Amino acid sequence: MDQSFLVMVSNLLQLHNSLDPTSSLLSNADGASSLLHSSSVAPLLFFTIASVLSFVASTRPSPSSDYSVSAFRTLSTEHIWSLEAPLRDAHWRSLYGLSYPVFTTVVDKLKPHIALSNLSLPSDYAVAMVLSRLAHGLSAKTLASRYSLDPYLVSKITNMVTRLLATKLYPEFIKIPVGRRRLLETTQAFEELTSLPNMCGAIDTTPVHLRINPNPNIYRCRYGFPSLLLQVVSDHKKIFWDVCVKAPGGTDDATHFRDSLLYHRLTSGDVVWDKVISVRGHHVRPYVVGDWCFPLLPFLLTPFSPSGMGTPAQNLFDGMLMKGRSVVVEAIALLKGRWKILQDLNTGVHHAPQTIVACCVLHNLCQIAREPEPELWKEPDESGPPPRVMDSEKSFYYFGENLRQALADDLHQKLSSR
């Protein structure tokens, strides 16, 4: 037992004896009834019980100061300015996954929307709480104990902030590169990396592990765990310019892509890229690259052979294409390394897609701000058969096949002549 507690009890007993020397807790076998019938002792008993309860309450462990409301308010308004910028931002990243300037950017952009919800918590505190959950993969229950809040309130605030990130900030920070300046910068950077002209992005999917398994048959991915399928397209800076979460993990990559808004925009001609080049008599518009799990289309080029059984020109093309694709693989590894909740998503299935998209928005913010890159999350090895050609895609496949061969022959000629 705590020594200070024993001292307190001893002092109370001494006070009791001084006020009523005729009573004794130790010598009277019926001491409890004697105390209750003593007019001088009853108030003292009440005082003793109240003192003990007060002591117990005061000695209960309090939540970590890093997560208390008062500590956060102090840190964000006073203590933070006494730190050198690198130390300040390193401390902020350890708590919330991003530096203080990026954090304030997020708060400033979300504050008007949070204000409409009549939330009892300050906007910066609510955002900090959600970011700490996303960055460390904490459950609502764990976070509630740290912030001295009800778990239901933590879930409610998490759902609100992630929804705002996925809807209000998505159009600003996740954009298809249709502007000429950005498109030119992207295609030139990919050409420097791969020697392939007019490449504007790389596409890939990744399963996001679900802690709760709603249906083993639908959500179980090819790696054996329940998941949702995330599809992203990345530029050369590992910034996502398209994000889609529409299918359970058991869906194959090609089906997920064909169901995406991006596919329908590209096949319908809704996305207009005016940067057109000519390669061996073929008009080459900007295109993205993916692995052999995606369909071959004029705007999505895939390798000739996953096993390297093509011609020298085809094998060279495949190697350069996969080099370009590596940027999206690394972008996904950064995403899951920075926002650890995506390693084991502990939200409800209905709120999981917006949580995943919110993390993608935050990833872009960090990449745009050139935040330090965390340790990469190791993805499982890629596998899966090539998709069959759909009847509706036969003309697209024909043009994509000719375009791919023209690019391969041109690449082989250029590199062979050096």
Classify residue 1 by burial, with Cβ atoms within 10 Å: 0-12, 13-18, 19+: exposed
Q: Is residue 228 predicted with pLDDT exceeding 80?
A: yes
Residue pair 360/234 in contact by the 8 Å Cβ criterion: no
**In sequence order, what are the residues at sequence separation of 6 or more whose Cβ sits closer than 8 angstroms to the Cβ of residue 48?**
12, 16
Tokens matching residue 280: 């061996």
Residue, of 340 and 22, whose pLDDT is higher: 340
Lowest mean pLDDT, pick from 91-100, 356-365, 404-413 = 91-100
Give the whole-number percent of the chain exceeding pLDDT 70. 79
Label residue 251 by pLDDT band (50, 70, 90). Answer: very high
Give the pLDDT confidence score for residue 330 in this predicted structure. Answer: 96
Residue, of 212 and 257, whose pLDDT is higher: 257
Give the pLDDT confidence score for residue 375 in this predicted structure. Answer: 85
Q: Is residue 16 predicted with pLDDT exceeding 80?
A: no
Helix axes 312-338, 180-194, angle to 10 degrees: 120
Give the pLDDT confidence score for residue 272 in this predicted structure. Answer: 75
Mean pLDDT over residues 352-381, rounded?
A: 92
Secondary structure of the chain in the HEC alphabet? CCHHHHHHHHHHHHHHHHHCCCCCCCCCCCHHHHHHHCCCHHHHHHHHHHHHHHHHHHCCCCCCHHHCHHHHHHHHHCHHHHCCHHHHHHHHHHHHCCCHHHHHHHHHHHHHHHHCCCCCCCHHHHHHHHHHHHHHCCCHHHHHHHHCCCHHHHHHHHHHHHHHHHHCCHHHHCCCCCCHHHHHHHHHHHHHHHCCCCEEEEEEEEEEEECCCCCHHHHECCCCCEEEEEEEEECCCCCEEEEEEEEECCCCHHHHHHCCHHHHHHHHCCCCCCCCEEECCEEECCEEECCCCCCCECCEECCCCCCCCCCHHHHHHHHHHHHHHHHHHHHHHHHHHHCHHHHCECCCCCCHHHHHHHHHHHHHHHHHCCCCCCCCCCCCCCCCCCCCCCHHHHHHHHHHHHHHHHHHHHHHHHHHCC
Residue pair 133/105 in contact by the 8 Å Cβ criterion: no
Mean pLDDT over residues 249-262, rounded?
A: 95
Give the pLDDT confidence score for residue 66 in this predicted structure. Answer: 41
Residue in this structure with the two tokens 């590992």, named with its chain if needed: 238
Q: Which of 305, 292, 298, 254 is nearest to 407 (CA)?
A: 298
Q: How confident is the model over 313-331, as pLDDT tens digits?
A: 999 999 999 999 999 999 9
Give the pLDDT confidence score for residue 246 in this predicted structure. Answer: 87
Mean pLDDT over residues 12-25, rounded?
A: 49
Mean pLDDT over residues 202-230, rounded?
A: 90
Mean pLDDT over residues 293-319, rounded?
A: 93
Q: Is residue 83 predicted with pLDDT exceeding 70?
A: no
Give the pLDDT confidence score for residue 149 in this predicted structure. Answer: 82
Q: Which of 303, 295, 170, 337 is nearest to 242 (CA)?
A: 170
Give the pLDDT confidence score for residue 232 in this predicted structure. Answer: 98
Mean pLDDT over residues 381-404, rounded?
A: 88
Q: Which of 212, 207, 190, 227 is nearest to 335 (CA)?
A: 207
Give the pLDDT confidence score for residue 302 in this predicted structure. Answer: 97
Q: Is residue 276 predicted with pLDDT exceeding 50?
A: yes
| Pairing label, strands 227-234, 199-209 | antiparallel
Q: Tell which phi-psi region holds residue 148, choosing left (phi > 0), alpha (psi between -120 and 50) or beta.
A: left
Q: How confident is the model over 24-80, as pLDDT tens digits?
A: 433 344 443 443 344 455 555 545 555 554 554 444 433 333 444 444 454 444 555
Label residue 174 by pLDDT band (50, 70, 90). Answer: very high
Residue pair 358/158 in contact by the 8 Å Cβ criterion: no
Residue pair 20/42 in contact by the 8 Å Cβ criterion: no
Query: Which value, to the nearest 10 degrees, does the dihedral of the CA atoms of residues 142, 148, 154, 158 take?
Result: -90
pTM check: above 0.75: yes
Tokens matching residue 286: 């900007």
Give the pLDDT confidence score for residue 405 in this predicted structure. Answer: 97
| Distances, alpha carbon 396 to alpha carbons 87, 293, 389, 392, 404, in Å | 53, 16, 10, 8, 12
Question: Domains of the chain: which residue ranges?
Answer: 3-57, 65-168, 179-416
The overall average pLDDT reported for the chain is 83
Please name every residue paired with 242 in a beta bridge, in sequence order, or none if there are none. Answer: 233
Mean pLDDT over residues 218-229, rounded?
A: 91
